[in-house]
């Protein structure tokens, strides 16, 4: 990893590694190196990420029950969410992959991106300590933490739209990114949500693909609810 790439990545992360080898290990997939890869760091980061998010939710929602806290945490630390955060940090551009994974688009795969993000959490915990690790995680997840609540933890707009369509035995919506504006990490995404049966398309913009999809799904829901 070249020094300039390392510097740009650290800038996006908001953390500068004293030991560049630790950062490289966090980004190295097993397919590239069976002995020195990010699996152990991933194990450590997975546990620390859950701890940080759990404590934040516990302090932020003192009236929430165990079930609500668990569902909110699950939404925040599930693989799809971690992959989205990894994309916002452009981790895919820096992953060290074996030849097979590179050819098959491993740098875009949710599972590999999520694992790399967890490994980075583990690496920062080891080098920077608990406080710096907590600050970085809360910063990376700030947008999602601001949106989560006990009332919305169970069903987001995409889930509610899917359930609405399934209730009427209609095909599921199709989401497509139609435009990306700017450069990472300050990109904005235009996403369209197409309803096949209704031949209706809704376009929304967000600071991440996930947010744009949710906004487009919300538009589709609002339109469906207005139909006789």
Q: What are phi and psi of 193, to 5 degrees?
A: -115, 115
Contact 23, 17 (CB under 8 A): yes
SS3 state at 216: helix
Token duo for residue 47: 């546990």
* Strand order, beta sheet including 188-195: 174-181, 188-195, 200-206
Is 139 an active-site residue? no
CA R_g for the chain: 19
Q: Are strands 188-195 and 174-181 parallel, antiparallel or unpaired?
A: antiparallel
Which residue among 46, 48, 84, 156 is the active-site one?
46
Residue 118, marked binder: yes
Which residue among 84, 88, 118, 156 is the active-site one?
118
Taking CA atoms, 3 is separated from 9, 21, 56, 166, in Å, by 10, 12, 35, 51
Is 46 an active-site residue? yes
The annotation places the binding site for Mg(2+) at: 42, 115, 118
The annotation places the binding site at: 42, 115, 118
Point out the residues that are catalytic. 46, 118
């Amino acid at each position: 990893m070249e020094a300039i790439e390392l510097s740009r990545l650290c800038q996006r992360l908001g953390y500068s590694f004293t030991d560049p080898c630790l950062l490289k290990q966090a980004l190295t997939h097993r397919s590239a190196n069976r002995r020195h890869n990010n699996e152990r760091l991933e194990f450590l980061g997975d546990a620390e990420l859950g701890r940080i998010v759990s404590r934040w939710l516990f302090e932020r929602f003192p009236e929430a029950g165990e079930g609500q806290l668990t569902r909110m945490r699950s939404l925040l630390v599930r693989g799809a969410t971690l992959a989205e955060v990894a994309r916002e940090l452009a981790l895919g551009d820096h992953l060290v992959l074996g030849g097979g994974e590179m050819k098959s688009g491993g740098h875009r795969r949710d599972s590999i991106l999520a694992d790399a993000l967890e490994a980075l959490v583990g690496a920062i915990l080891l080098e920077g300590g608990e406080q710096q690790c907590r600050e970085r995680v809360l910063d990376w997840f700030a947008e999602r933490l601001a949106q989560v609540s006990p009332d919305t933890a169970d069903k987001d707009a995409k889930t509610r739209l899917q359930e609405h369509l399934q209730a009427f035995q209609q095909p599921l919506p199709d989401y497509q990114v139609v435009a990306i504006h700017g450069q990472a990490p300050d990109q904005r995404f235009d996403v369209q949500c197409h309803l096949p049966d209704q031949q209706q398309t809704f376009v929304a913009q967000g600071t991440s693909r996930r947010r744009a999809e949710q906004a487009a799904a919300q538009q589709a829901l609002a339109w469906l609810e207005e139909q006789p």
